Amino acid sequence: MSVIYDRVALIGLGLIAGSMAHAMREAGLAREITGYARSAATRETAREIGLCDMVCDSAAEAVAGADLVVLAVPVGVMGTVAAEIAPHLAAGATVTDVGSVKQAVIAAVQPHIPAGVHFVPGHPLAGTEHSGPRSGFASLFRNRWWLLTPLPDSDAGAVDRLGRLITAMGAKMDRMEPAHHDLVLAVTSHAPHLIAYTMVGVADHLSRVADEEVIQYSAAGFRDFTRIAASDPTMWRDVFLHNKEATLDILGRFTEELFMLQRAIRMGDGPQLYDYFTRTRAIRRGIIEAGQDTEAPDFGRSPDAKGQDI
């Protein structure tokens, strides 16, 4: 694999930036990787584990001379970070981000991008419930989608080059309109996360009554919800606040549908429940066929089954 960027600056050193660093190094895609994180403790950890070639004490220093700058911070601070680095960006550089929301990030970042610098918004559909500089691993993006939402005036060459980096890290690249991205993600990711957070919260109230039995007897369904609900609170707070319209739209549809099923339970309507559950099973099959998950059963996983190369 050949070098695609001379110097890549990672702003924010969490799960996504860390995994990018590992993936770029493994495949030799960047000649040099610099990094910056707002927290001194994070910078120290990153230095300790050698996550980047150079961990800088300011974002300005990290982006100086970089031909690719990756904004890998919570969606709510993208604008602030963009304003901070703007005066220090090299002419001809590409700036991308990895935020889970695109319209709000574009609105916050785009005004700060100087002429001659290319802004190509993006979003890797990959993650785990872990966060921080130690949580990254090179294979995180493998066979996962990485969506780019270029702007109408995005430089075609800059988009293509970023696309080559993405596919070289093992991901599948696709393009999407920012508004459409935010709707699709609201249904596949944002609403499910809020629902999982909610269900775990309900259990929490109950567990106080029932002496932590709820935790002890955590069965299949709930265990998977807790995994989702253990994701980074800052990141998710920002996602909901910045993809408000689409998330609330999907949650409204969800509530309608839930009420219909609650009513079927109350009325004892077995055929309606059976038909509904049969349809949802077919969707799962579609996902497996699309290669986004495996057939391996997951609920019965034993404590020693890691199945992941961190």
Provide the edge-to-edge strand list for the sheet that holds 172-175.
54-55, 30-36, 5-11, 68-71, 94-97, 118-124, 145-148, 172-175
Interacting residues of 125 by C-beta distance below 8 A, sequence separation 6+: 144, 145, 146, 147, 189
Tokens linked to 192: 């499910």
Residue number with CB closer to a second copy (156 or 209): 209
Residue number with CB closer to a second copy (31 or 142): 142
Residue number with CB closer to a second copy (153 or 309): 309
| 178, 103 Cβ separation under 8 angstroms | yes
- CA distance linking residue 22 with residue 136, whole number of Å: 7
Residue number with CB closer to a second copy (2 or 302): 302
- CA distance linking residue 93 with residue 192, whole number of Å: 36
- Minimum distance, C-beta of residue 58 to a second copy, in the bound complex (Å): 26
63 SS3 class: helix
55 SS3 class: strand
- Minimum distance, C-beta of residue 170 to a second copy, in the bound complex (Å): 9
- Minimum distance, C-beta of residue 257 to a second copy, in the bound complex (Å): 5
- Minimum distance, C-beta of residue 221 to a second copy, in the bound complex (Å): 3
| Residue 12: Cβ within 10 Å count | 26
Residue number with CB closer to a second copy (107 or 220): 220
| 125, 145 Cβ separation under 8 angstroms | yes
Beta bridge partners of 94: 68, 118
Specify the residue for token string 């100086």: 64
Residue number with CB closer to a second copy (35 or 136): 136
Specify the residue for token string 């990290």: 62
The H or E element containing residue 32 is: strand 30-36
Residue number with CB closer to a second copy (7 or 99): 99
- Minimum distance, C-beta of residue 258 to a second copy, in the bound complex (Å): 5
- Minimum distance, C-beta of residue 126 to a second copy, in the bound complex (Å): 6
Classify burial at 68, counting beta carbons within 10 Å of its beta carbon; exposed 0-12, middle 13-18, buried 19 or more.
Answer: buried
- Minimum distance, C-beta of residue 121 to a second copy, in the bound complex (Å): 16
- Minimum distance, C-beta of residue 289 to a second copy, in the bound complex (Å): 9
Residue number with CB closer to a second copy (24 or 228): 228
Task: Give Rg (Cα) of the chain.
Answer: 21
